[in-house]
Amino acid sequence: AGDAASSHSQPTLPAVPPVQAVRPPPAAVGGGSHSQPSFPPRAPVRAVPPPAKLASTATPGALLAAFLAKADPSAHLRFPLAVSPCSHPAVSCSADGQITRLVLESSGLNGTFAPATLSRLVELRVLSLKSNALHGPIPDLSPLENLKALFLAGNRFSGPFPASVASLRRLRSIDLAGNRLSGALPPGIEVAFPHLTFLRLDANHFNGSLPAWNQSSLKLLNVSYNNFSGPVPVTPVMAQMGAAAFAGNPELCGEVLRRECRGSHLLFFHGPGNNGSAAPPVQSAAATGDGPQRDDISLPDSSTPRSRKLRRRAAIAVAATAGAFVAVLLLCAMIAMKRGKKRRRPSSAAYPSPKKSAAMSEVSRDNTDLGYVECVPDEETAAMMMPEEKARRLERSGCLTFCAGEGASYSLEQLMRASAEVLGRGSVGTTYKAVLDGRLVVIVKRLDAAKIGAAALEAEAFEQNMDAVGRLRHPNLVSLRAFFQAKEERLLVYDYQPNGSLYSLIHGSRSSRAKPLHWTSCLKIAEDIGQGLAYIHQASRLVHGNIKSSNVLLGSDFEACLTDNCLAFLLESSEVKDDAAYRAPENMKSNRRLTPKSDIYAFGILLLELISGKPPLQHSVLVATNLQTYVQSARDDEGVDVERLSMIVDIASACVRSSPESRPTAWQVLKMIQEVKEADTAGDNDSDLTSNS
Ligand SMILES: Nc1ncnc2c1ncn2[C@@H]1O[C@H](COP(=O)(O)OP(=O)(O)OP(=O)(O)O)[C@@H](O)[C@H]1O
């Protein structure tokens, strides 16, 4: 139990049940069985000797009582100390009755942490006193040599980083966030914990320089909102954490923060050899053969010093991205998930108990009407655990939202370990393929603020838009599963579509003289896209805004699915750059005022591309082209029924009319395509179905 609970992810800590008025049995003082079923309502809850008088052979129960006497002076936590503490769910014990785990989170402890009390529970593996109001210094904990997880976050502890903690070499998880600890970190702390996986020191008053942590085991580090100064050491591990891990320290500088240090050069990590750890595995799509092989996603050639430098920067940037992603997720792990859109915390606890989190996830899994599960916005939590001026500095921050009807289908730990691979860079950001625990594959789109208007990234607007997009569920749409919103991060998580894009299918591996796709495949794909588009327009009254062959992906059954759905709002204030061929004439100059009729125009262009196998036609070329001849000449070796082919060309022609008002609706387009398809299926010309196979 100790090992499991010592992992860095909060939910592994056992739940603390609601505090009940539990009273000891009349004759159970000093003993008691582990399976004591109930306690008669009599006798005082605690009769505790002061710590100074504790015998060196004091029992675990007596030590715990001594701790509670100071930590809970009003004795509102009615802990059944007269019997063995092992019977309490907050406590785990070894076979010989030694306490190995003590979790007293959000328990209203508002006194001090008395020395020589819990620190004498030498078999402790896990100690969590999170989200109380304990004050004063953290006492000497050096006897706790077996301790693996120490969670003291969200209290009011003051004084320096406890030197005794630095002597606990078995520690893997340390969370001291949200206290009033101050001063410099003890020298050598970067090598004090060989197995460290999780270290949170954020929202304290620490100062001095940052140590160069570089344990390959370290998955989360957060020192934000302190007063650290000087360069952030660019070890591979620290570079992975991303800028958010160091934010809120005005005097910090260096490459990781993209802030030049006064009087010195920016720091760069100069490759393996500096303790040897490597950045997370990131490959270009071209390297793996997965996704379109486009020039713009490859890193610079490494043959020149400049390109090596660029490559290094790119690697650090990608590593930082992955780190930021992980940091955002872990930040969310510290925060309770709440049902629905409720925003205010009902309790004053800075952190939820693991039990609450687990219960929330259960609810969200079971309740598909829920819409989505939302984290408590970070600043609210921060406001409860941080001094006011820090709370003011902390704007809206990390929040994970699962979309319509989704429970958390992957754990934070899985996400933390996910490896990321760049698939490409599109109009709104960079797309990654992330593999969780080597099994679950998701697509993560990291939005690029430089490509997107600031207005679209405004937190409320972004959330509203993504909420609407996240509700779209249709077999021909790639589902948005979750989105993340942090101060400087916007991440979208989609289902992974394993069979590439329609762009690759039509143009990718084919030579310029290759034939277009099989006629029946064309009809099926056209119908699929039409279904997805009609759903968007009709069911949600949204606009797709970016219909093109690279935004049609093929699912596991080769069904065509529209992706990047309804992200037009992200591009409203950006310049029109790419894919002009799909742009309706009325939208040529501006991304504003995209309408369903803009989508219909793009669909018409896509339809022509699909059935001709040729690149999309620019509007100027289109108006001067006889589309019937254009398409028929592309398919003249197929023996496709000319009448049906001409019907599809007619549908496309209607879609690309110059006047938006004269274009059909998505439902009309779909219906017309289905009529052609039905005629084809029931048709008299079976040879159509075997041509071009
Ligand atoms: N859900 C997904 N499943 C599998 N591959 C995907 C998924 N989403 C995107 N991709 C792949 O990632 C590549 C990059 O996608 P991205 O959306 O960033 O660029 P794009 O589609 O070329 O441009 P734009 O952003 O303008 O739509 C795509 O070419 C596609 O092959």
Query: For residue range 283-312, what is the model confidence (pLDDT) as tens digits?
Result: 222 223 333 332 222 222 233 344 444 445
Give yes or no for residue 626 having a pLDDT over 60: yes
Neighbours of 34 (CB within 10 A): 10
Section 305-320 average pLDDT: 48
Residue 494 CA, closest ligand 1 atom number: 1
| Per-residue model confidence (pLDDT) at position 55 | 62
| C-beta 508 within 6 A of ligand 1 | no
Residue nearest to atom 23 of ligand 1 (CA): 426
Q: What's the helix, strand, coil split of the chain in %, to 5?
A: 35, 15, 50
Residue 500 CA, closest ligand 1 atom number: 31
Using CB atoms within 10 Å of the CB of residue 391, give its burial: 0 to 12 exposed, 13 to 18 middle, 19+ buried: middle
Residue 429 CA, closest ligand 1 atom number: 18
Using CB atoms within 10 Å of the CB of residue 558, give its burial: 0 to 12 exposed, 13 to 18 middle, 19+ buried: middle
Q: Which residues contact 325 (CB under 8 A, 6 or more apart)?
A: 242, 415, 420, 444, 446, 484, 489, 491
| C-beta 291 within 6 A of ligand 1 | yes
Distance, CA of 20 to chain centre:
36
**DSSP per-residue letters across 472-530:** ---TTBPPEEEEEE-SS-EEEEEE--TT-BHHIIIIIS--TTPPPPPHHHHHHHHHHHH
| C-beta 545 within 6 A of ligand 1 | no
Give yes or no for residue 136 having a pLDDT over 70: yes
Neighbours of 390 (CB within 10 A): 20
Q: How confident is the model at residue 564 (pLDDT cuts 50, 70, 90)?
A: very high
- Output the CA 131–ligand 1 centroid distance in Å: 42
Lowest mean pLDDT among 61-70, 286-295, 532-541: 286-295
**DSSP per-residue letters across 548-593:** SGGGEEE-TT--EEE-STT-GGGGTTSPP-S-GGGS-GGGSS-STT
Q: Is the separation of the CB atoms in 424 and 285 below 8 Å?
A: yes
- Output the CA 370–ligand 1 centroid distance in Å: 29
Residue nearest to atom 22 of ligand 1 (CA): 426
Separation of alpha carbons 234 and 585, rounded Å: 49
What strand order describes the sheet that includes 91-93? 91-93, 99-103, 126-128, 149-151, 173-175, 198-200, 220-222
Residue 297 CA, closest ligand 1 atom number: 14
- Output the CA 551–ligand 1 centroid distance in Å: 7
Q: How confident is the model at residue 56 (pLDDT cuts 50, 70, 90)?
A: low
| Per-residue model confidence (pLDDT) at position 86 | 85
Question: 644: closest CA among 559, 532, 523?
Answer: 523
Residue nearest to atom 30 of ligand 1 (CA): 291
Q: Which residue has the tokens 């490559």?
A: 311
- Which sign, positive or negative, has the C-alpha torsion 344, 347, 349, 352? negative
Amino acid at 604: G
> pTM value?
0.49
User: What does pLDDT average to over the chain?
Assistant: 71
What is the three-class DSSP state of 657? coil
Residue nearest to atom 14 of ligand 1 (CA): 424
Q: How confident is the model at residue 399 (pLDDT cuts 50, 70, 90)?
A: very low
Amino acid at 147: L
- Output the CA 569–ligand 1 centroid distance in Å: 18
| Per-residue model confidence (pLDDT) at position 157 | 94
- Output the CA 424–ligand 1 centroid distance in Å: 6
What strand order describes the sheet that includes 440-447? 337-339, 373-375, 399-402, 480-485, 490-495, 440-447, 429-436, 419-425
Separation of alpha carbons 466 and 168, rounded Å: 45
Residue nearest to atom 18 of ligand 1 (CA): 426
Residues in the chain: 693
For a mutational test of ligand 1's pocket, the pick from 480, 501, 554, 583, i.e. the residue with the most ligand atoms closer than 8 A to its C-beta, is 501
Residue 579 CA, closest ligand 1 atom number: 26
| C-beta 546 within 6 A of ligand 1 | yes
- Output the CA 542–ligand 1 centroid distance in Å: 20
Is pLDDT larger for residue 502 or for residue 371?
A: 502
| C-beta 478 within 6 A of ligand 1 | yes
Residue nearest to atom 9 of ligand 1 (CA): 431
Separation of alpha carbons 325 and 430, rounded Å: 13
| C-beta 214 within 6 A of ligand 1 | no
**DSSP per-residue letters across 425-483:** E-SSEEEEEEEETTTEEEEEEEE-TTTS-HHHHSHHHHHHHHHHHHT---TTBPPEEEE
Give yes or no for residue 164 having a pLDDT over 50: yes
| C-beta 7 within 6 A of ligand 1 | no
- In eight-state DSSP terms, residue 7 is S
Is pLDDT larger for residue 623 or for residue 574?
A: 623
Joined tokens for residue 225: 């909102």
Residue nearest to atom 8 of ligand 1 (CA): 443
Q: How confident is the model at residue 213 (pLDDT cuts 50, 70, 90)?
A: very high
Question: 62: closest CA among 49, 71, 72?
Answer: 49
Separation of alpha carbons 53 and 368, rounded Å: 57
| Per-residue model confidence (pLDDT) at position 108 | 82
| Per-residue model confidence (pLDDT) at position 127 | 94
Distance, CA of 116 to chain centre:
41
Separation of alpha carbons 135 and 670, rounded Å: 67
| C-beta 501 within 6 A of ligand 1 | yes
Section 655-682 average pLDDT: 92
| Per-residue model confidence (pLDDT) at position 88 | 80
- Output the CA 113–ligand 1 centroid distance in Å: 53
Question: 308: closest CA among 269, 258, 259?
Answer: 269
| Per-residue model confidence (pLDDT) at position 506 | 92
| C-beta 428 within 6 A of ligand 1 | yes
Q: How confident is the model at residue 572 (pLDDT cuts 50, 70, 90)?
A: low
What is the three-class DSSP state of 402? strand
Separation of alpha carbons 465 and 216, rounded Å: 38
Q: Is the separation of the CB atoms in 423 and 432 below 8 Å?
A: yes
Section 333-349 average pLDDT: 34
| C-beta 424 within 6 A of ligand 1 | yes
Give yes or no for residue 624 having a pLDDT over 80: yes
- Output the CA 560–ligand 1 centroid distance in Å: 14
Buried b (16+ CB within 10 A) or exposed e, 456-495: bbebeebbebbbbbbbbebebbbbbbbbbbbbebbbbbbb
Residue nearest to atom 5 of ligand 1 (CA): 497
- Output the CA 537–ligand 1 centroid distance in Å: 22
Q: Which residue has the tokens 């990608």?
A: 318
Separation of alpha carbons 24 and 442, rounded Å: 52
Q: How confident is the model at residue 664 (pLDDT cuts 50, 70, 90)?
A: very high
Is pLDDT larger for residue 657 or for residue 427?
A: 657
Identify any residues that bridge with 160 across adjacent strands, giving them in sequence order.
182
Q: How confident is the model at residue 541 (pLDDT cuts 50, 70, 90)?
A: confident
Residue nearest to atom 1 of ligand 1 (CA): 496
| C-beta 284 within 6 A of ligand 1 | no
| Per-residue model confidence (pLDDT) at position 435 | 84
**Complex ipTM > 0.90:** yes
> Above pLDDT 90, what percent of the chain?
33
Give yes or no for residue 403 having a pLDDT over 50: yes
Residue 478 CA, closest ligand 1 atom number: 1
For the stretch 458-472, pLDDT in tens is 777 888 888 888 888
Give yes or no for residue 70 having a pLDDT over 50: yes
| C-beta 563 within 6 A of ligand 1 | yes
Give yes or no for residue 196 having a pLDDT over 70: yes
| C-beta 553 within 6 A of ligand 1 | yes
Q: How confident is the model at residue 115 (pLDDT cuts 50, 70, 90)?
A: very high
Separation of alpha carbons 151 and 78, rounded Å: 22
| Per-residue model confidence (pLDDT) at position 143 | 96
For a mutational test of ligand 1's pocket, the pick from 549, 550, 561, i.e. the residue with the most ligand atoms closer than 8 A to its C-beta, is 550
| Per-residue model confidence (pLDDT) at position 33 | 30
- Output the CA 420–ligand 1 centroid distance in Å: 14
Separation of alpha carbons 618 and 487, rounded Å: 39
Residue nearest to atom 17 of ligand 1 (CA): 426
| Residue 17: C-alpha distances to residues 116, 195, 217, 293 (Å) | 27, 30, 32, 54
Give yes or no for residue 580 having a pLDDT over 70: yes
For the stretch 267-282, pLDDT in tens is 222 222 233 222 222 2
Q: Is the separation of the CB atoms in 349 and 369 below 8 Å?
A: no
- Output the CA 243–ligand 1 centroid distance in Å: 26
| C-beta 297 within 6 A of ligand 1 | no
Q: How confident is the model at residue 534 (pLDDT cuts 50, 70, 90)?
A: very high
Separation of alpha carbons 212 and 188, rounded Å: 10
Q: How confident is the model at residue 456 (pLDDT cuts 50, 70, 90)?
A: confident
| C-beta 561 within 6 A of ligand 1 | no
| C-beta 443 within 6 A of ligand 1 | yes
Separation of alpha carbons 450 and 55, rounded Å: 65
What is the three-class DSSP state of 332? helix
Residue 495 CA, closest ligand 1 atom number: 1
Q: How confident is the model at residue 512 (pLDDT cuts 50, 70, 90)?
A: low
Residue nearest to atom 24 of ligand 1 (CA): 426
| Residue 111: C-alpha distances to residues 53, 75, 129, 353 (Å) | 19, 10, 12, 20
Identify any residues that bridge with 490 across adjacent strands, giving them in sequence order.
485
For a mutational test of ligand 1's pocket, the pick from 295, 423, 427, 606, i.e. the residue with the most ligand atoms closer than 8 A to its C-beta, is 423
Section 317-335 average pLDDT: 49
Q: Which residue has the tokens 């393929």?
A: 433
Section 51-59 average pLDDT: 64
Question: 500: closest CA among 641, 219, 293?
Answer: 293
Residue 504 CA, closest ligand 1 atom number: 31
Is pLDDT larger for residue 360 or for residue 400?
A: 400
Most confident of 54-68, 288-302, 313-327: 54-68
Section 659-674 average pLDDT: 95
Question: 45: closest CA among 71, 82, 72?
Answer: 82
Residue 496 CA, closest ligand 1 atom number: 3
Give yes or no for residue 650 having a pLDDT over 50: yes
Separation of alpha carbons 256 and 223, rounded Å: 13
Neighbours of 539 (CB within 10 A): 12
The secondary structure of 137-187, three-state, reads: ECCCCCCCCCCCEEECCCCEEEEECCCCHHHCCCCCEEECCCCEEEEECCC
| Per-residue model confidence (pLDDT) at position 482 | 83
- Output the CA 566–ligand 1 centroid distance in Å: 14
Section 606-633 average pLDDT: 90
| Residue 550: C-alpha distances to residues 287, 384, 502, 564 (Å) | 19, 46, 6, 10
Q: Is the separation of the CB atoms in 571 and 544 below 8 Å?
A: no
Is pLDDT larger for residue 175 or for residue 400?
A: 175
